[in-house]
Amino acid sequence: MNRIISIFRRDFKSSVREYILLYMMIGPLLLALGFSMIIPNTESASLQFALEASLDQSIVDEFNKYGSVFLFESKEEIINRVNGMDDIAGVMSEKEGSLFIILEGNETHDTKVVPQKIIREINGVNDASISYKIRDIGVKRSPISIIGSAALMITAIILGGIIIGFNIIEEKESKTIQALNVTMMNKMEFIIGKSLLGFVLPVAQVYIILWLLKIDDVNKLMILVIVLSGTLTASVLGFLIGVISDNQIAGVMNMKMIYLATAASIVGAMVIPESSQFFLYILPTYWIFVGFRDIVSNTATWHQIIINLSWILGMTFILFMLIKKRIIRGLT
């Protein structure tokens, strides 16, 4: 056990020291941070109103029929909210009790007009020229958010495996593997020690990505199941990269091939009709992406997760058996 922990510590220090590996460790988190600033969601796409907290509850309820309502104590707070980056109309009452609208000036047509209609209805004034229908389509998260978050999580998993591969390449270049062959450490301890970073890092990254994207209403246990099974696939690919690459340049080239297969599975799952996706079933990355996509969209069931898990483990096992001898030779 101590030897396994020793390998893990050495790999972690090596990854932090090497800039390319350090970027692989923090890259998914930086991408998630940037993505969180641009992804649309149904809340920002719907109408929003900043109302004075002292308004009658019946007025608040009327605005609630048309969108999201935020209550503020003072006029200054409402103005600051209206001047924010998103689209929102402020509504306050004058001393005589009449309502007035506060706008920044760059709002959409609906944000400008709908509050006027609501106020007319509150005042009992009918305006037949304006007609609105509010329909809840039941979508809590935009497709871009679902696909983007799933792609980021699978990227974190694949990068975990690639880090394993590059650490093996470094061991080969420094002749450390040959030295380990004459020590008391056996191959299983070496493999477990090398794989540990590829398992621990993606698990932490995936949950941080969910936190950065404010996706907190998903089944965390389902996420963990897909992450752990995915890291097994990534570890096998990482060892393959490590043993077939003589140097880091070759490692980068092989890494691109892995990314190409991953990208193909993601694009295929998005653009190909589901009835025609059967030829993607042999790619474990396809099932990892589909699992994340369904979990984030809150449509996944444990039955479907078990099916995904079976395909991931089955295809990974077949891949491992095909390249097992090559990996063993590369580690001697």
- The yes-or-no verdict on residue 284 having pLDDT over 90 is yes
Q: Where are the domains of the chain?
A: 2-38+142-330, 42-122
Axis crossing angle, helix 220-244 with helix 248-271, rounded to the nearest 10: 140
If one counts every other C-beta atom within 10 angstroms of the C-beta of residue 147, the result is: 18
pTM: 0.68
Whether residue 243 contacts residue 330, with contact meaning beta carbons closer than 8 Å, is answered with yes
Q: CB neighbours of 71 closer than 8 A, spacing ≥ 6?
A: 51, 52, 53, 60
For 16-28, write each residue's pLDDT tens digit. Answer: 666 667 777 788 9
Whole-number Å distance between alpha carbons of 188 and 327: 12
Record: fold of 42-122: D-Maltodextrin-Binding Protein; domain 2 (3.40.190)
Give the model's pLDDT for residue 131.
42
pLDDT of residue 104: 80
**pLDDT at 265 exceeding the cut of 60:** yes
